[in-house]
Amino acid sequence: MSGTLKTTSSSKGSNPLESIANKHVVVIGGTSGIGRAVAQQAAAAGARVTVGSRNKKRVDDTVALLGAQGQVQGRVVDLTDAESVRAFFEAAGEIDHLILPGNEVHIAAFRKLSIADAQASMASKFWGQYAAIKAARMSATGSVVLFSGVASRKPGAGAPALTAINAAVEGLGRALAVELAPVRVNVIAPGVVDTELWAGLPEDTREAMLKSFTQRQPIPRPGRPEEIAAVVLTMMAATYMTGAVIDVDGGTLLV
């Protein structure tokens, strides 16, 4: 076949992340770990960023930290509290990109985890994201990024509730991509990432655990929050991506 490949004027030399500039990006769970890295990178790309989480000091500290880089505001929200969710989204106004890493789960083996703690984890990670999307006023050109985790498809012994929650989140993402179109809905499934999520453990236990979880992966180390965040920004900008589950996990699903 002969002929020259034509580039369209919209693709020629453009940087997709430029499309995030001046957009309203809301990151619930934006005060820690992956969410804070997303907020930081979105602000650096010129977005108007709103971060939310339960702890006012964390919200204020994050706004102070990231505010120097761009337009960042914050507001307290608890995704497990219906009135808090309503008030947060009423104040937020129209949203271009809704990013949902904010939750707290109990991780324990089936015989050890109480049903109450398993249900609280589902209430936080699954129903929290569900409630946020239901309350949000999304721009028609916008997108949602839900958070699952590779446990959905690689269940190590010791966290069956989390495996089920993550699988439910991935199902929700696919269903909402169909139902909420033209709003795009995608899911990111991180592998093990070194964030405050593991901070409750003593330092030496934490390091040993992160090493044992990741040492057989093709990329044999925990991920860094900014490595996951960079993919989330790409998902916001990827106008032909919806209903996808994107694994960012150092290749752990292969081993």
Ligand X SMILES: NC(=O)c1ccc[n+]([C@@H]2O[C@H](COP(=O)([O-])OP(=O)(O)OC[C@H]3O[C@@H](n4cnc5c(N)ncnc54)[C@H](OP(=O)(O)O)[C@@H]3O)[C@@H](O)[C@H]2O)c1
SS3 for 129?
A: helix
d(CA 129, CA 144): 10
In the list 196, 219, 221, 253, the residue contacting ligand X (rule: CB under 6 A) is 196
CA–centroid distance for 145 within its chain: 6
Binding window for ligand X (CB under 6 A); candidates: 49-57, 66-74, 177-185, 229-237? 49-57
How far is the CA of 59 from the CAs of 29, 32, 54, in angstroms?
9, 9, 8
d(CA 100, CA 129): 6
Q: Does 97 bind ligand X (CB under 6 A)?
A: no
Binding window for ligand X (CB under 6 A); candidates: 13-21, 108-116, 194-202, 233-241? 194-202
Binding window for ligand X (CB under 6 A); candidates: 110-118, 175-183, 193-201, 229-237? 193-201
Token representation of residue 201: 């453990």
Contact (Cβ atoms closer than 8 angstroms) between residue 64 and residue 39? no
Minimum distance from CB of 28 to ligand X (Å)?
5
Minimum distance from CB of 119 to ligand X (Å)?
14
Minimum distance from CB of 7 to ligand X (Å)?
36
Binding residues with ligand X: total (CB under 6 A): 30
Q: What is the DSSP letter of 223?
A: B
Residue closest to ligand X (Cβ) = 33
Instruction: State the angle between helix axes of 82-92 and 115-135 in degrees (0 to 180), rounded to the nearest 10.
Output: 30
**Which residues bind to ligand X, rule: CB under 6 A?**
28-29, 31-35, 53-55, 58, 77-80, 101-104, 124-125, 128, 147, 149, 190, 192-193, 195-197
